[in-house]
Amino acid sequence: MKLLADVNISRHVVARLRSHGFDVIRASDILDPRAPDDDIIAEARRLGAVLISHDQDFSAILATTGATKPSLINVRVSHVDADGVARSIAAAVGAATPELEAGAIVTIDDAGIRIHDLPVG
């Protein structure tokens, strides 16, 4: 599974995910770091990647547009250490692979994960 990390996902988190075998790239490595959310979503679709972000706007965009792709991992954990965030993302991918492949928003918070199939509603 290919992952596209938004600019608000630390380079250290991306490096940790890569070290655990994930195919992940940061959006700022292939797009302008100031690229609007719509461009990042379009790039995730083009790549067939799951988008990872702390930004709540992506959930709203996917929900209001009736999108079925890309899937989104919405990171809302209180810890900020790269190892912990990377572990949380890896665990979510492991727990929700079929849903992410089909089209879903997976929210990670301190209590665990929640999965909403796309399109929302």
CATH number at residue 7: 3.40.50
Structural domain of 41: 2-117
Task: Assess contact for 84 and 77: CB atoms under 8 A.
Answer: yes
| Residues 6+ away with beta carbon under 8 Å from 13 | 5, 82, 85, 86, 89
pLDDT exceeds 90 at position 82: yes
Mean pLDDT of the chain: 97
Q: What percent of the chain has pLDDT over 90?
A: 98
Q: What percent of the chain has pLDDT over 70?
A: 100
What's the structural domain count of the chain? 1
Tokens 């089909």 belong to residue: 102
Rounded to an integer, the average pLDDT of 16-33 is 97
Predicted pLDDT at 37? 97
Tokens 């089209």 belong to residue: 103
Band of residue 72 on the pLDDT scale cut at 50, 70, 90 = very high
- Beta-carbon neighbour count of residue 37 at 10 Å? 16
Band of residue 121 on the pLDDT scale cut at 50, 70, 90 = confident
Predicted pLDDT at 38? 96
Band of residue 18 on the pLDDT scale cut at 50, 70, 90 = very high
CA angle 6, 11, 12 (to 5 degrees): 130
pLDDT exceeds 90 at position 36: yes
Rounded to an integer, the average pLDDT of 80-102 is 97
